[in-house]
DNA sequence: GGTAGGATGGGCT
DNA sequence: GCCCATCCTACCC
């Protein structure tokens, strides 16, 4: 991994349109691997994600219907769903599926590509680049993603996702999701094989 | 190398 | 009042 200036990164990238997100949750969860998440001066390639389905997926926040917290999940796709977990960490999801249908993609790990110095300042416990964003609570801290960004349009910013032309080919590994009890055997976690920035083997 | 336990606050019953 | 889509530290091999 070589760090890239943000200006060059953005010049080589194209922000994903809403149509990217207006698709089945599992498709987006797989396809988001290798894309680049940009916020301010910091950016990282998505290397791990999980699908949270509508309907009978009881692990999803949307399973109990529309509340103040889950409203954005039922809205138009291509928005950020950011929530607080365990009182201290924020988690970032992409809202997918057409409006009126629930579906989320949890972003679980990034490979940092820009703004490493800033990320190390925000992540005091990190000793090496692999520690910066290898977990859903770590990456939001590294990129300063908070609930203030809940509902943010990912095609307009300030938080955006872009194509990443430098990404070499990779294999996708499928496993069960991490940290849940309901539907624990559903294979809805995806990550880039052999990538050292994923949260867990 | 590994893991047990605690921090901490909002959402929902 | 209980449950979390987690992380860090201390401590133990």
Q: Would the pLDDT of A2 be above 90? A: no
Note the strand C nucleotides within 7 A of protein beta carbons: 4-9
Cβ of A193 near strand B (distance < 7 A) = no
Q: How far apart are alpha carbons A95 and A189 in whole angstroms?
A: 16
Note the strand B nucleotides within 7 A of protein beta carbons: 7-13
Q: Would the pLDDT of A7 be above 90? A: no
Let me know how many helices (H) and strands (E) chain A has, helices first: 6, 8
Across residues A163-170, what is the average pLDDT? 86
- pLDDT recorded at residue A164: 87
Q: Would the pLDDT of A6 be above 90? A: no
The whole-model pTM stands at: 0.97
Q: What is the pLDDT of residues A114-160, one digit of tens each?
A: 999 999 999 999 999 999 999 999 999 999 999 999 999 999 989 99
Q: What is the pLDDT of residues A40-99, one digit of tens each?
A: 999 999 999 999 999 999 999 999 999 999 999 999 999 999 999 999 999 999 999 999
Among all protein residues, pick the one whose CA is nearest to the C1' atom of B13: A64
CB atoms closer than 10 angstroms to residue A15:
16
- The nucleotide minimizing the C1' distance to residue A84's CA is B10
In chain A, which residues from 147 to 176 place their CB closer than 7 Å to nucleic acid strand B? none
CA of A56 to C1' of B12 (A): 19
Q: Is the peptide bond before A158 cis (omega within 30 degrees of 0)?
A: yes
CA of A125 to C1' of C10 (A): 15
Cβ-contact A134, A199 below 8 angstroms: yes
Q: How far apart are alpha carbons A37 and A111 in whole angstroms?
A: 10
Q: Would the pLDDT of A201 be above 90? A: no
CA of A126 to C1' of C8 (A): 11
CA of A20 to C1' of B12 (A): 33
CA of A86 to C1' of B6 (A): 12
Q: Measure CA A71 to chain center.
A: 19
A104, exposed or middle or buried, with CB in 10 Å at 0-12, 13-18, 19+? buried
CA of A125 to C1' of C7 (A): 10
- pLDDT recorded at residue A1: 63
Q: Measure CA A77 to chain center.
A: 14
Cβ-contact A160, A93 below 8 angstroms: no
- pLDDT recorded at residue A114: 96
């Amino acid at each position: 991994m070589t760090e890239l200036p943000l200006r060059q990164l953005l010049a080589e990238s194209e922000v994903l349109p809403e149509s990217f997100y207006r698709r089945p949750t599992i498709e987006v969860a797989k396809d988001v691997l290798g894309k680049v998440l940009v916020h301010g001066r910091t950016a990282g390639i998505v290397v791990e994600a999980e699908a949270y389905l509508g309907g009978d997926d009881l692990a999803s926040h949307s399973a109990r219907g529309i509340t103040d917290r889950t409203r954005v999940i039922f809205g138009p796709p291509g928005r950020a769903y950011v929530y607080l977990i365990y009182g201290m960490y924020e988690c970032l999801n992409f809202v997918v599926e057409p409006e009126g249908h629930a579906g989320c993609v949890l972003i679980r790990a990034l490979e940092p590509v820009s703004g490493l110095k800033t990320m190390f300042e925000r992540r005091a416990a990190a000793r090496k680049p692999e520690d910066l964003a290898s977990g859903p609570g770590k990456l939001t801290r590294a990129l300063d993603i908070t609930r203030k960004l809940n509902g943010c349009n990912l095609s307009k910013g300030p938080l955006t996702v872009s194509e990443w032309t430098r990404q070499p080919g990779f294999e996708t590994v499928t496993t069960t999701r991490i940290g849940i009890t309901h539907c624990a055997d559903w294979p809805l976690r995806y990550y880039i094989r052999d990538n050292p920035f994923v949260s867990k083997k």
